[in-house]
């Protein structure tokens, strides 16, 4: 293939978007009709290593390269093919239009140090600083047909200059306005090494923090002979090199932690060091509380009904496993997990399933045998999803495994019972009968007549077919005639009329040929046995198994989406772990509710609200709840709906009504039938009062992934209708979604 044979344009992500764009509906017209000057300009823009965008035509339609995508952010890819006035309305009139007027006149122009606020898809924003250049682009006739904009980001340099100016200003005002402990010391050297230091000046906060009210002019060894030697080395190094240092120090005598910033002050020959002390005891206590909180969250995960585990990207090491008593816990990374947990009979199947999942980057799912915590054989249904970083690389696998040992035992017992049942049928038939060699019933069977209500003359011959369900009749007759012709035993089931109850019941029929010594069939002996209860048991089991698989699939889908959204909104893995553990705990509480319900029960809304508020420690006297009890939720909606309530509750505890002394939370709900289809809908009103909201210039807390879950995920996944408003005195959120028809008839009629 030659260069001319390649699709145009090509070579990058944006090139593909340009090819697929419907240019015929844009001011530029079909791409096939573009002039060579426009094509050349597009090739130049796409080949540039830095951010660049082409603004073409009277409307200045925008075409940009891959390097420009991080600048476009949430405007990409909608920005492609739009006029610059539509794409950047907030800066067009004041900034971009005057620059384009210069290029239209054939003049190139530069713009240095321009700050632009860029928005993220999750609602966040960030100010970035750029140097921009606008150059005129001419068409074949030499007329200016557009402009080439190139950008150079100078945010870091701008911030560095700003920080330097701020640092100098802080230094100038150090003694005038400082409210932390501060002192200036003179480092004393002996034989070229720092041996002690003398206090030159101290402020009041320093005296209050340390209790050294008469330190000025005195040496440290005089005040504290056991002072750590490495501090002398640190301050000596700063005095000699002039390089500032920041570190944390614990004052043993005071039992307090300080954040210390030390820097050289004065002339180098003075060997003086300024030391700023900030009490970080509150932060340290907060970190300890955070660690305790993480421990509690891990305990919640451990209390889940499912085993939770984490695996390395290639599954060679198990990072952690919370076994829920079903499997042995693993707190440290282990490379021998396969032999420890997986039964030898199933290890090959597990490895094959892992290879398929890793190769395709899709969910791992397998039902296999395991060694239980007590050493006995067990069965589990295991599912795991890959967790990826911003580049799409798998960083680990997160999985959950359910204990299905009892289900497997029931299935095995059912199979054994069926074998025994078939043996009993063959030996002790409920209804016995005989047919001649051609399959025509010839002998009376009082049991048949008693069961079906047929008279003798009605059921002999082929009259017995009239007692079989119409849907089963033709198939049963065909199978009977084929079996007779093939001279093989009969084993079939069909629905048979039961006169006593006036209903159709399942019957198993067995018939064998009775032959003469020469092999000729003399007659057929058969019997029927009522197997209705067995059919009902099999149907109930199928429903239960389907429900288990459905709930497990829903759970893994929620976990995977939750992991993706949490990872996308997390600053780093530590932040992800905290957020993700918190949300897993909310999910575990819902699973706990679901696991305690029988086949026909449903989680109710008031049960879900009370569980979440109690788990997160909401103060009852500051919470008002008003609504009907027993509103049953659909099982498929509970997990996602519970996560939304968890986000609202967590936000209220951190920033809202439950975090401020005058705050109050009122949750009301009601049932209504929708006019369009008559289905019952639950309407929930979450209203916070008495909350001191931040000023408009400050971003309100509690947004991000939680708000995205309510405003986007609930309508998309559950068909819900939602609002989320930051009012003057707190959050006001409404959620309306369809609920289970069951258990609401008495409330709605």
Query: Tens digits of per-residue pLDDT, 509-520?
Result: 888 888 887 888
Contact residues for 693 (Cβ-Cβ < 8 A; gap 6+) = 700, 726, 727, 728, 729, 730
The Cα–Cα gap between 731 and 723 comes to 10
Report residue 238's pLDDT band, with 50, 70 and 90 as the boundaries. very high
pLDDT tens-digit readout, 644-653: 888 888 888 8
Q: CB-side exposure of 396: number of CA atoms within 13 Å?
A: 16
Contact 452, 498 (CB under 8 A): yes
For residue 324, what are its two tokens?
């829920």
Contact 136, 147 (CB under 8 A): yes
Contact residues for 675 (Cβ-Cβ < 8 A; gap 6+) = none
The Cα–Cα gap between 748 and 30 comes to 58
pTM beyond 0.75, yes or no? no
Place of tokens 């017995």: 464
Percent of the chain, pLDDT > 70?
Answer: 82
The Cα–Cα gap between 393 and 386 comes to 9
Q: Is residue 729 packed enough to be buried (19+ CB in 10 Å), middle (13-18) or exposed (0-12)?
A: middle
For the ranges 144-158, 267-281, 529-543, 720-734, which has the lowest average pLDDT?
A: 529-543
From residue 271, alpha-carbon distances to 241, 261, 265, 266 in Å are 10, 16, 8, 8
For residue 683, what are its two tokens?
């309407």
Whether residue 492 is predicted with pLDDT greater than 90 in this model: the reply is no
pLDDT tens-digit readout, 417-446: 544 544 443 344 467 778 888 878 877 678
The Cα–Cα gap between 622 and 658 comes to 7
| More confident call, 496 vs 553 | 496
pLDDT tens-digit readout, 52-94: 999 999 999 999 999 999 888 889 999 999 999 999 998 899 8
Whether residue 681 is predicted with pLDDT greater than 90 in this model: the reply is yes
For residue 571, what are its two tokens?
């600053």
Q: Are strands 52-56 and 61-64 parallel, antiparallel or unpaired?
A: antiparallel
For the ranges 186-190, 336-340, 400-404, 592-596, which has the lowest average pLDDT?
A: 592-596
* Length in residues, the chain: 749
Q: Are strands 125-138 and 144-153 parallel, antiparallel or unpaired?
A: antiparallel
For residue 677, what are its two tokens?
């289809």
Does residue 439 come out as left (phi exceeding 0), alpha (psi in the -120 to 50 range) or beta? Answer: left
């Amino acid at each position: 293939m030659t260069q001319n044979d390649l699709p145009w344009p090509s070579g990058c992500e944006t090139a593909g978007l340009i090819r697929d764009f419907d240019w015929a509906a844009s001011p530029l017209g079909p791409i096939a009709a573009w002039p060579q000057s426009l094509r050349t300009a597009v090739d130049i823009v796409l080949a540039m290593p830095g951010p660049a965008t082409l603004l073409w035509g009277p409307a200045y339609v925008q075409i940009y390269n891959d390097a420009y995508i991080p600048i476009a952010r949430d405007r990409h890819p909608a920005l492609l093919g739009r006029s610059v006035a539509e794409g950047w309305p907030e800066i067009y009139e004041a900034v971009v239009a005057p620059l384009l007027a210069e290029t239209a006149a054939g003049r190139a122009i530069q713009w240095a140090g321009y700050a632009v606020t860029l928005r993220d898809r999750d609602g966040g924003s960030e100010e970035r600083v750029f140097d921009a250049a606008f150059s005129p682009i001419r068409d074949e006739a030499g007329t200016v047909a557009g402009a080439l904009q190139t950008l150079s980001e100078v945010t870091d340099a701008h911030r560095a200059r700003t920080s330097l100016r701020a640092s100098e200003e802080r230094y100038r005002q150090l003694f005038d306005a400082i409210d932390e402990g501060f002192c200036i010391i003179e480092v004393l050297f002996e034989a070229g090494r720092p041996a002690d230091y003398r206090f030159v000046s101290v402020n009041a906060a320093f005296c209050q923090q340390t209790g050294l009210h008469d330190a000025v002019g005195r040496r440290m060894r005089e005040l504290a002979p056991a002072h750590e030697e490495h501090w002398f080395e640190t301050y000596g190094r700063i005095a000699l090199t002039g390089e500032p240092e920041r570190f944390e120090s614990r004052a043993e005598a005071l039992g307090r932690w300080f954040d210390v910033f030390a820097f050289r002050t004065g002339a180098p020959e003075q060997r003086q060091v300024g030391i700023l002390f900030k009490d970080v005891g509150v932060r340290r206590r907060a970190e300890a509380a955070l660690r305790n909180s993480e421990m509690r969250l891990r305990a919640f995960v451990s209390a889940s009904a499912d085993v939770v585990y984490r695996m390395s990207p290639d599954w060679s090491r198990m990072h952690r496993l919370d076994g829920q008593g079903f499997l042995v816990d693993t707190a440290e990374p282990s490379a021998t997990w396969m032999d420890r947990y997986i039964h030898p009979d199933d290890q090959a199947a597990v490895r094959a399933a892992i290879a398929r999942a890793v190769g395709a980057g899709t969910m791992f799912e397998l039902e296999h045998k395991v060694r239980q915590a007590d050493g006995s054989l067990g069965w589990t249904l295991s599912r795991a999803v890959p967790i990826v970083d911003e580049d799409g690389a798998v960083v680990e696998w997160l999985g959950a495994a359910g204990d299905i040992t009892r289900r497997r035992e029931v299935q095995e017992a059912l199979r054994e019972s069926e074998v025994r049942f078939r043996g009993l049928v063959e030996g002790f038939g409920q209804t016995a009968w005989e047919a001649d060699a051609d399959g025509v019933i010839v002998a009376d069977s009082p049991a048949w007549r008693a069961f079906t209500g047929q008279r003798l003359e009605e059921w002999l011959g082929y009259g017995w077919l009239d007692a079989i369900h119409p849907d089963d009749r033709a198939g049963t007759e065909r199978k009977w005639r084929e079996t007779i012709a093939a001279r093989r035993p009969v084993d079939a089931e069909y629905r048979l009329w039961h006169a006593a109850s006036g209903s159709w019941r399942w019957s198993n029929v067995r018939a064998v040929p009775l032959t003469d010594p020469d092999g000729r069939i003399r007659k057929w002996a058969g019997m029927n046995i009522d197997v209705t209860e067995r059919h009902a048991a099999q149907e109930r089991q199928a429903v239960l198994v389907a429900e288990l698989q459905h709930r497990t699939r829903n759970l893994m889908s929620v976990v995977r989406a939750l992991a993706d959204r949490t990872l996308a909104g997390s600053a780093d893995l530590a932040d992800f772990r905290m957020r993700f553990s918190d949300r897993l705990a909310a999910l575990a509480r819902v699973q706990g509710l679901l696991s305690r319900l029988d086949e026909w029960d449903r989680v109710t809304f008031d049960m879900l609200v009370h569980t979440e508020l109690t788990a997160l420690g909401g103060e009852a006297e500051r919470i008002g709840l008003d609504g009907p009890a027993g509103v049953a939720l659909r099982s498929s909606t509970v997990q996602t709906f519970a996560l939304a309530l968890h986000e609202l509750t967590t936000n209220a505890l951190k920033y809202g009504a439950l975090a401020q002394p005058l705050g109050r939370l009122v949750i009301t709900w009601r049932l209504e039938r929708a006019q369009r289809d008559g289905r019952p809908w639950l309407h929930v009103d979450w209203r916070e009062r008495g909350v001191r909201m931040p000023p408009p210039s400050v971003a309100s807390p509690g947004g991000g992934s939680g708000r995205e879950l309510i405003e986007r995920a609930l309508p998309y996944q559950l068909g819900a209708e939602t609002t989320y408003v930051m009012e003057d005195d707190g959050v006001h959120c409404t959620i309306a979604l369809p609920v289970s028809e069951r258990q609401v008839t008495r409330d709605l009629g």
